[in-house]
Chain A
Amino acid sequence: MSIALEHVNYIYSPGTAYEKHALKDVSFEIGQGQFVGIIGHTGSGKSTLIQHLNGLAKATSGDVSYNGESIYAEGYDMRKLRSQVGLVFQYPEHQLFEVDVLSDVCFGPKNQGFSQEECEKRAREALGLVGFPEKYYRQSPFELSGGQKRRVAIAGILAMHPKVLILDEPTAGLDPKGRDEILDQIEHLHKETGMTVILVSHSMEDIARYVERIIVMNRGQKMLDGAPAEVFQHYRELEKVGLAAPQVTYIMHDLKERGFDVPADATTIEEAADEIMRSFHG
């Protein structure tokens, strides 16, 4: 169970004045159950990249395969792929359209061809997973707050029982509390269901705490790929492309330069605090 990209290139509007080489020779493989972060500056091609993972965008050259089968093969069932690789777009609350929350979440399962009862069962389950309060199930999605709308939209994808969940900037435009809640919920989901989660973001701080692997995109190319601690070692290169490592990385490097005996690869505040305390008591 894995998604693999091989030498994927993608060019927007080829042959016109608007031509843009959005992805250049991108290859990687994401295994089942991984929690991966894709990070990159605005316009680095990350949103284009994830649209390739469920076949919404077709690579100009190169190959994308899911579970070892090329999704560009003739007769490949795209709808089945899309129900297995769930993609939550940026500002997903803008796609809500139904009269109440529950029916909106039912849209996905209904398209998969489930009965009304089964759809509702799945919808309730999905809304539960994202922590959406039951008393609002019959309310219009347009009357909810931004954070609640987003939960509904994410539930809309979860109700399809995807094996892989991709989220494009799930915290954009949310306040810090809403951001932490959504990210904690996603982490909880990952642990609970064991599904593959791919989190797209431009903020290292956001994803460093959660993911086990980071893919850094820059100008349509894969720049770095590895565990967070490994990627943050390159914090000087990251700065050059307009990204930054989490603040703890800087503090740890500074401390080390000034002669303290701390490892420089701590990625979260808790880890860093432990290491600093150890070095003082040590």
Chain B
Amino acid sequence: MVRDITIGQYYPTESFIHRLDPRVKIVCTLLFIVSLFIQNSLPGYVVATIFLAAVIKMSKVPVGFIVKGLKPIVILLLFTVVMNLFLTRGGAELVQFWIFTITESGLKTSVFMAVRLIYLVMGSSIMTFTTSPNGLTDGLEKLLHPLNRVNVPVHEVAMMMSIALRFIPILLEETDKIMKAQQARGADFETGNIIQRAKSMIPILVPLFVSAFRRANDLAMAMEARCYHGGEGRTRMKPLKYKREDRLAYAVTVFYLVLIFAVGRFVPLRLWIF
């Protein structure tokens, strides 16, 4: 069900990665993703694998949880692999049947592309698993702060994002409750054809919308009652500040970037066609 989707969720536990400043995690995740796409050699992937594995280990998030996060991209992954496999030309021909040809560089590109996509999703899920939604929006707000000068309402966008994120679990719970309440009145969501099933959603959707509007209204009033008037002149209770660990994390990431380039260029590790 809805609750099985782990991508984008926060996994509350205590670890070095969890304690890092959200800005560090956002920037380093971006750097990691960039590093995946601007190099293309076996040694480079080895370095990336070690780096990712070390971060996962340090974050104390169960590996199974992270792997589950890959489920939604399986289709995309298969599509990419198949396209690359059959449509890339170059190098010696490996297999040929009917109208399909698999070439060396086709195989190479598709495997590397799959690894890139998987690492991309795993890397970014590590970020969301270890950063609370509020931390993420705080970090984004601070990072994008310079855009204020070109009239982008950074604070308002960040506030909307954090409210939207906060409401996801509330609305999920509400849906669950309403479904149960209607089931207690004999509602049936499982049987019947498509039209009947769509119709059976009405007793859930109407109360859900009513409750979402009620909650939004309550929240707006509660915010106004506390004199909320947007980001101007607003100070924070816990301002984000870089600590020693955060500088260390930046240093490690930069070292990783240098390493992945150096290794890609100077280590002549090759395995068959890769």
Contact = CB atoms under 8 A, between A and B. Distances in A.
B186 A108 contact: yes
Contact of B181 (A13, A83, A89, A160): A89
Interface residues of B, number: 21
B72 interface: no
A95 B184 CA distance: 11
B188 interface: yes
A92 B207 contact: no
A85 to B, nearest CB: 9
Interface in B164-188: 177-178, 180-188
Interface in A226-268: none
Contact of A156 (B3, B12, B178, B185): B185
A109 to B, nearest CB: 8
Contacts of B203: 95, 97, 107
Most chain A CB within a 10 A radius of its CB, from B12, B181, B188: B181
Contact of B186 (A56, A97, A111): A111
A64 to B, nearest CB: 15
A96 B207 contact: yes
A114 B260 CA distance: 71
- Does more than half of chain A's interface fall in helix, strand or loop, or is it mixed? helix
Contacts of B13: 17
A51 interface: yes
B211 interface: yes
B274 interface: no
Given A17-B12, A17-B13, A95 B181 contact: yes
Contacts of A94: 177-178, 181, 207, 210-211
Given A17-B11, A112-B186, A97 B181 contact: no
A111 B181 contact: no
A20 to B, nearest CB: 13
Interface in B191-231: 202-203, 206-207, 210-211
- Does more than half of chain B's interface fall in helix, strand or loop, or is it mixed? helix
Given A51-B180, A89-B180, A95-B178, A108 B185 contact: yes
A87 B186 CA distance: 11
A17 B15 CA distance: 14
A54 interface: yes
B185 A160 contact: yes
Interface residues of A, number: 25
B186 A160 contact: yes
A86 interface: yes
A54 B202 CA distance: 23
Given A17-B12, A17-B13, A94-B207, A79 B185 contact: no
Contacts of B180: 51, 56, 89
Interface string B1-43: 0010000000111000000000000000000000000000000
A137 interface: no
Interface string A192-223: 00000000000000000000000000000000
14 contacts: A17-B13, A56-B180, A56-B183, A86-B184, A89-B177, A94-B178, A95-B203, A95-B207, A97-B206, A107-B182, A107-B203, A111-B185, A142-B210, A160-B186
Interface of B: 3, 11-13, 177-178, 180-188, 202-203, 206-207, 210-211
Given A17-B11, A82-B185, A107-B186, 7 more contacts: A56-B183, A79-B186, A82-B183, A97-B207, A111-B188, A112-B186, A160-B186
The 4 A-B pairs of least Cβ separation, nearest first, read: A111-B186, A97-B206, A95-B181, A108-B185
